Each structure stands twice: as structure tokens, then as C-alpha cells.
């Protein structure tokens, strides 16, 4: 895979069922040529991540001045940047080549169309497209004919795929009746109507539809394909920009010496909006359980939208009602039947009670931890548990990371970014306390400290942080000046 390996740059013909897979030009059975350097770069990136050599975020930062469609391989680019100094290069290349060869061996059943072949390769390598997107490589953006027929019957025209997760795929579509652009989410694969996947999908739609708040994505319609009985739902199309994108941009500018207090002010404003949306969800007996910057969308007009309620947990009367319904039906399977010992969520932003599998201990304060993790990312550019993961070996990464989440406090924000105001560091640390009772008890309390201290012309938060109020008229009463001094 490296440039000093002549076979990497040769373009030979290989068969899906054998041949020299180290060469990257593939001729399918019917003789349609196609170059697969981008797919090889994707395979190498996935190998780096799976081996614990680099994280997805580190790769994303490294490829900002590189294109997957050029002649320079990802290996060469990363090597020139000095990001692979102590790595066993040969072993990584062999692992990546083996992974790609296994995918090529499965291509016999793929239509002899170069776009469908490449789509199949990307989807098999990177099912959710997270790494492919970072590298600038997308699978086929067009929907299948079958899906186009189904949504047209429901009054929608499918345009292109815009996202994919563990449960469903999201498409950009046009509402033919109201002449507007919408997003449509369908279940990822065909499933029986009573399968756990369909139940989870319908539950996600019901929970999202129950939440009517300006900062929670609105649901327009839930339906079934008349031919296949596969569910889908229609929601507002927000756009592609997320809070994660805004955070990355801010910290990239900061590292390049472009301090911007207004940009930080906007990020904190967005954070307060997220807190308010989560507080509303809590008032409706719903806990999100997967809060992270990636699940917060930012539209072009400053509106903040919390997405992806697929892991949400019901509390109070809703939890009792759901348990009774499941007990009566005898079909309690899927996420709503989560048992102690099961771990749900994103480890980089996960609360200790989630990492330990103590499901009964998950409550509103679990989301407070998630909000603290989002604030931490805003302040440092890193997830709370990201540095812990980077220091681990691949073999022990998951188990060791979960142990650290449960037993060790997060690294202080100022140790990663010395410009972080101490008060904001203290707010994030309180929200990220290992013990739920030591955190803010509500999302609104957390939002209140951030808002009072940094987004209004009032004094900085002190009561919940255990410090005295500043004197009236002191410079700490001007939040904009305080933030500007640090950013």
C-alpha cells in the first residue's frame, strides 16, 4: 500500500474470487474497468482506527489538505505528516489488503455496473459511512428504484441518501403535495412486522413525534410501504451542519491563532438551547441517552435541533405503561426491554452508569452528564473520554475505556486548552461528576450557570460552584468581556 511498493501503483486486472488483490484496478466479469484506490484508502483508514493507531477525529484533521481522489495514497499522506512513526506498516497494510480482498470475493452477486460495485464495496467496508464521509468518499447517493416507487406512492420523491445509522437510513426527499424538501428515514433492512428492529424503529418515531419543541426535530408522517410493509417516517430537513462541525471549525481556527470570542459565544448559546430541549424532554418523561455534538444539528438561521432519539428511555408513567403493554403482548423485545448489564450509547460521551450497564440508575442526571460532555467538547475540541482511548492498546481498548469511564474523573478541560475560563471548566467538571448526586440535578440548572455567567451581563455563576458572588460593577459582570479575554 505504501509508495515504495511498486505493486501498489500497477494497474492490473484482478478477479473477485482471487488474484493479486494488492493491485487496485478491478475488472468485473463483464469487463467493465474501474479503479479502486479510494476504496483502498478507506480500507487503510478503517484498519488504523480498528487497530487503535489513529482515531476517526485524528484522521479527519489529517486529511484536510489531502483528497482521496488524487494520486497520493492515504498511507503516504499520513506518513509524510509523521503520524505513523512507530507503527508496524507491513502488518497494517496486510490487514487492510486482507479486509478488502474479503469484500472483493463477495462481488459475484453485484450487478455489473461500476457504480453499484463501488457502492457495495463502500457499504460493506463502512456500513454507516462515518469514515467514508471523513475521507470525502460517499456510497451511491441515489436511492434504489424500489424505494423511489414506494415513496412516490406516499407523495414523496426521493433525491439522495444523506445519512445512515445502526437502525435506519435517511434520505433527502421532496414532498410533492406541499412542494417542500423533507428528510425520510426508513428501516435499514427488510424485517418482519413484529421483529425487534421494526419495533425499535416505530418506538423511535413515536417518541420523536411526542416531543413538540422548537429545538427537537418535528415529525410529519409515519407510514408503511404497501408492498413490503416496511416502515418509514418523514421529518423536517435540517441540513448537514452539526454542532460537531462547528466545534471542529472553532478549534481548528483557534489552533491556527484565529481567536474568535463571538464564535465561542455562539457555541455556548447553542449549548444552552440543547439544555432547554433536553429539559423539555425530561418534563415529558423521556431521557435521550446518546447526547453528543454529532446529534445536534445547526440550520442556516441559528436554530439548534436535537436529533436521534433512537436510544431514548421512558420514565415515570410512560415507562410503566410501556412495561404493561409489553407484558400483555408477550412480545417485549428490542431496546425497550434493555436489561441490566447491557451498554447503550456512545462511549466517548457516555456516563458512568451507562458504561457499567446499571440501567436502573439511568435518569435525567445521565443526560446532564451527556450535556456536560458536549460542553467539554465545546471547550476543548475533544470528547471527555477521547484522550483515555488514545492511550490504550487496541486489544484492551473497549473494556479498559469502560473501566476508566466508571472509575476515573475526566481530564480537566484546561489541561487540554489553557484558554478555557476556570469558571466554565468548573461547570463542565460538575456536570461530569462520576456520581449522579454530585452533578447538576437538572438540565436547566446547568444551562442557568452557563447562561448567567457567560451569555448575559450578569455576574458569573457562583452558588452551585461554591464561590462568593463578585462585587457589583466589577469587570466579571460583563460576560462578553470575560469570554473575549480567554477566546
**pLDDT band at 326; cut points 50, 70, 90:** low
pLDDT at position 315 is: 87
pLDDT at 72 over 80: yes
pLDDT at 259 over 90: no
pLDDT at position 128 is: 65
**pLDDT band at 28; cut points 50, 70, 90:** very low
Domain boundaries, the chain: 6-135, 145-236, 243-486
Q: How far apart are the first and last CA of the chain?
A: 42
Per-residue pLDDT reduced to its tens digit, 180-217: 999 999 887 666 666 778 888 888 999 999 999 999 99
**pLDDT band at 318; cut points 50, 70, 90:** low
Q: Tell me the H-state helices in 294-385.
A: 316-329, 352-355, 364-380
Cα 450 to chain centroid distance, Å, stands at: 24
- DSSP notation for 103-132: HHTTGGGS-S-HHHHHHHHHHHH-TT-HHH
Per-residue pLDDT reduced to its tens digit, 42-66: 888 888 887 777 878 888 888 888 9
CA 303, CA 59: separation in Å to the nearest integer? 29
C-alpha cell belonging to residue 79? 506518513
- The fold for domain 243-486 equals Transferase(Phosphotransferase); domain 1 (1.10.510)
Instruction: State the residue for C-alpha cell 475560563.
Output: 421
pLDDT at 143 over 50: no
| Helices vs strands, H then E, count in the chain | 19, 11
Report which listed range, 176-185, 370-379, 408-417, is most confident: 370-379
pLDDT at position 190 is: 66
Q: Tell me the H-state helices in 214-295.
A: 243-255, 261-283
pLDDT at 460 over 60: no
CB 455 within 8 A of CB 477: no
**In this prediction, what percent of the chain has a pLDDT beyond 90?**
30
Q: Which of 7-21, 54-68, 96-110 has the lowest mean pLDDT?
A: 7-21
Per-residue pLDDT reduced to its tens digit, 433-450: 999 999 999 999 999 999
**pLDDT band at 346; cut points 50, 70, 90:** confident
CA distances (Å), origin 103, targets 17, 40, 71, 89, 119: 10, 11, 23, 22, 12
Pairing of strands 156-164, 168-175: antiparallel
pLDDT at position 152 is: 56
pLDDT at position 391 is: 55
pLDDT at 398 over 80: no
CB atoms within 10 A of CB 104: 21
CB 217 within 8 A of CB 297: yes
pLDDT at 278 over 80: yes
Higher per-residue confidence, 120 vs 185: 185
CATH 3.30.200.20 for domain 145-236? yes
Catalytic site residue from 41, 248, 290, 308: 290
| pTM of the predicted structure, to 2 decimals | 0.75
Average pLDDT over the chain reads 76
Higher per-residue confidence, 486 vs 235: 235
Is 290 annotated in the active site?
yes
Report which listed range, 167-171, 224-228, 235-239, 437-441, is most confident: 437-441
145-236 and 243-486 in the same fold: no
Amino acid at each position: 500500500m505504501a509508495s515504495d511498493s511498486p505493486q501498489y501503483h500497477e494497474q492490473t486486472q484482478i478477479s473477485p474470487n482471487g488474484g493479486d488483490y494488492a493491485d487496485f484496478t478491478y475488472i468485473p466479469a463483464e469487463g467493465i474497468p474501474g479503479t479502486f484506490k479510494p476504496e483502498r484508502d478507506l480500507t487503510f483508514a478503517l484498519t488504523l482506527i480498528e487497530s487503535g493507531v489513529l482515531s476517526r477525529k485524528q484522521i479527519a484533521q489529517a486529511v484536510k489538505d489531502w483528497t482521496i481522489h488524487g494520486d497520493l495514497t492515504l498511507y503516504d499522506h499520513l506518513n509524510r505528516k509523521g503520524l505513523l512513526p512507530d507503527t508496524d506498516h507491513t502488518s497494517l497494510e496486510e490487514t487492510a489488503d486482507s479486509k478488502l480482498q474479503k469484500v472483493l470475493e463477495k462481488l459475484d452477486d453485484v450487478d455489473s455496473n461500476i457504480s453499484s460495485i463501488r457502492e457495495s464495496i463502500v457499504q460493506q467496508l463502512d456500513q454507516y459511512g462515518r469514515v467514508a464521509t471523513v475521507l470525502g468518499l460517499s456510497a451511491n447517493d441515489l436511492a434504489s428504484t424500489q424505494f423511489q416507487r414506494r415513496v412516490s406512492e406516499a407523495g414523496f420523491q426521493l433525491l439522495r441518501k444523506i445519512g445512515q445509522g445502526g437502525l435506519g437510513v435517511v434520505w433527502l426527499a421532496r414532498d410533492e403535495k406541499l412542494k417542500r424538501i423533507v428528510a425520510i428515514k426508513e428501516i435499514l433492512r427488510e424485517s418482519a412486522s413484529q421483529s425487534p428492529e421494526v419495533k425499535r424503529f416505530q418506538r423511535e418515531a413515536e417518541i420523536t413525534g411526542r416531543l413538540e419543541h422548537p429545538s427537537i426535530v418535528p415529525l410529519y408522517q409515519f407510514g408503511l410501504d404497501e408492498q413490503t410493509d416496511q416502515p418509514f417516517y418523514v421529518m423536517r430537513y435540517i441540513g448537514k451542519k452539526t454542532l460537531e462541525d462547528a466545534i471542529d471549525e472553532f478549534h481548528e481556527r483557534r489552533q491556527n491563532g484565529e481567536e474568535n470570542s463571538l464564535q465561542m459565544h455562539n457555541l455556548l448559546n447553542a449549548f444552552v438551547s440543547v439544555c432547554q430541549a433536553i429539559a423539555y424532554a425530561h418534563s415529558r418523561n423521556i431521557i435521550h441517552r446518546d447526547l453528543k455534538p454529532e446529534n445536534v444539528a445547526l440550520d442556516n438561521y441559528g436554530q439548534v435541533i436535537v436529533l436521534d432519539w433512537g436510544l431514548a428511555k421512558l420514565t415515570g408513567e410512560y415507562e410503566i405503561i410501556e412495561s404493561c403493554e409489553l407484558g400483555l403482548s408477550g412480545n417485549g423485545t428490542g431496546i425497550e426491554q434493555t436489561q441490566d448489564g447491557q451498554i447503550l450509547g456512545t462511549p466517548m460521551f457516555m456516563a458512568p452508569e451507562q458504561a457499567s450497564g446499571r440501567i436502573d440508575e439511568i435518569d435525567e442526571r445521565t443526560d446532564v452528564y451527556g450535556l456536560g460532555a458536549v460542553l467539554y467538547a465545546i471547550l476543548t475540541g475533544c470528547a471527555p473520554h477521547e484522550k483515555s482511548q488514545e492511550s490504550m492498546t487496541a486489544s484492551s481498548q473497549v473494556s479498559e475505556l469502560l473501566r476508566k469511564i466508571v472509575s476515573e474523573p475526566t481530564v480537566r478541560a484546561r489541561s487540554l486548552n489553557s484558554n478555557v475560563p476556570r469558571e466554565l471548566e468548573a461547570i463542565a467538571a460538575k456536570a461530569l461528576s462520576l456520581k449522579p448526586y454530585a452533578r447538576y440535578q437538572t438540565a436547566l440548572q446547568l444551562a442557568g450557570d452557563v447562561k448567567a455567567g457567560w451569555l448575559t451581563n450578569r455576574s458569573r455563576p457562583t452558588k452551585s460552584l461554591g464561590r462568593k458572588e463578585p462585587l457589583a460593577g466589577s469587570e466579571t459582570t460583563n460576560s462578553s468581556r470575560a469570554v473575549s479575554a480567554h477566546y
